[in-house]
Amino acid sequence: MTEPTSDKTALVLFSGGQDSATCLAWALARYARVETIGFDYGQRHAIELDCRARLLDGFRAIDPAWAASFGDSHTLSIPTLSAISDTALTRDVEIAMGADGLPNTFVPGRNLIFLTFAAALAYRRGIADIVGGMCETDYSGYPDCRDDTIKALQSAISLGMARDVTLHTPLMWLDKAATWRLARDLGGNALVDLIREHSHTCYLGERGARHDWGYGCGECPACALRAKGWREYQARA
């Protein structure tokens, strides 16, 4: 494994999904100390949050240097978000495309809220580097995952807190197959296997059946994207 290249601390948005688990490995390879933050906002897949502990244990087991780098693991509850968002992720309705071309899983501004809360916590802890798994390549119509959005928000946060904050998005231009390759490069097949087994992607919030790409319903857009990425990764491996 690589030595950390920075003596700073990073705060990683860590939901327990494939993308954020890969971001966590990316940060562990670069920063002397890494803290994580997860959000509980009444979403159906609270199971994703349960996956965090198992993944963190797995990271510690893969590399003692990683184990030594872990700082606090934070969970912030944001009940406000579900209160104002009548969407498929927070209510028991079918996932579909809305008239505006966005999936009805879209919680308006969700990533803006997550990143701004993360920045507020980071401010209090003297952390200037925030890492998130936003990705434009497979962004499924979510405008708050786009690079333009993240860069505008970095400006707003840095100006609004009078402190330079960097929002790192190492997956921004990767597709899901490339994300698996990045995980392999960062932590070998042990990390790929860990993420495959214990990360959660399925919109339905079910562990579901075991597939070669992990657990999930196998039908929802998130499962379909994950399955496609795994197939492509395997084909090119």
Give the binding site for a second copy (CB under 8 A): 76-81, 83-86, 100, 102, 107-109, 111-113, 116-117, 119-121, 123-124, 143-144, 146, 148-149, 152-153, 155-157, 159-162
Q: Is 28 known to sit in a ligand binding site?
A: no
Encoded tokens for 202: 């399925």
Q: Is 85 known to sit in a ligand binding site?
A: no
Cβ 184 to a second copy shortest distance, Å: 31
Q: What is the CA radius of gyration of the chain?
A: 17
**Residue-by-residue DSSP string for the chain:** -PPPSEEEEEEEE--SSHHHHHHHHHHHTTEEEEEEEEEE-S-TTTHHHHHHHHHHHHHHHH-HHHHHHEEEEEEEE-HHHHHH--STTTSS----B-TTSSBTT--TTHHHHHHHHHHHHHHHTT--EEE----STT-TT-GGGSHHHHHHHHHHHHHHHTS--EEE-TTTT--HHHHHHHHHHHHHHHHHHHHHHH----TT---BEEETTEEE-S-SHHHHHHHHHHHHHHHH-
Separation CA 9–CA 154 (nearest Å): 18
Encoded tokens for 226: 């994950």
Nearer to a second copy, 62 or 131 (CB): 131
Cβ 151 to a second copy shortest distance, Å: 9
Q: Is 16 known to sit in a ligand binding site?
A: yes
Nearer to a second copy, 102 or 225 (CB): 102
Q: Is 220 known to sit in a ligand binding site?
A: yes
Q: Is 15 known to sit in a ligand binding site?
A: yes
Nearer to a second copy, 168 or 184 (CB): 168
Q: Is 18 known to sit in a ligand binding site?
A: yes
Nearer to a second copy, 28 or 157 (CB): 157
Separation CA 39–CA 74 (nearest Å): 9
Encoded tokens for 95: 């996932």
Nearer to a second copy, 61 or 152 (CB): 152
Q: Is 6 known to sit in a ligand binding site?
A: no
Cβ 95 to a second copy shortest distance, Å: 18
Nearer to a second copy, 5 or 140 (CB): 140
Cβ 136 to a second copy shortest distance, Å: 12
Cβ 224 to a second copy shortest distance, Å: 23
Cβ 106 to a second copy shortest distance, Å: 9
Binding annotation for Zn(2+): 202, 217, 220, 223
Binding annotation: 14-24, 202, 217, 220, 223
Binding annotation for ATP: 14-24
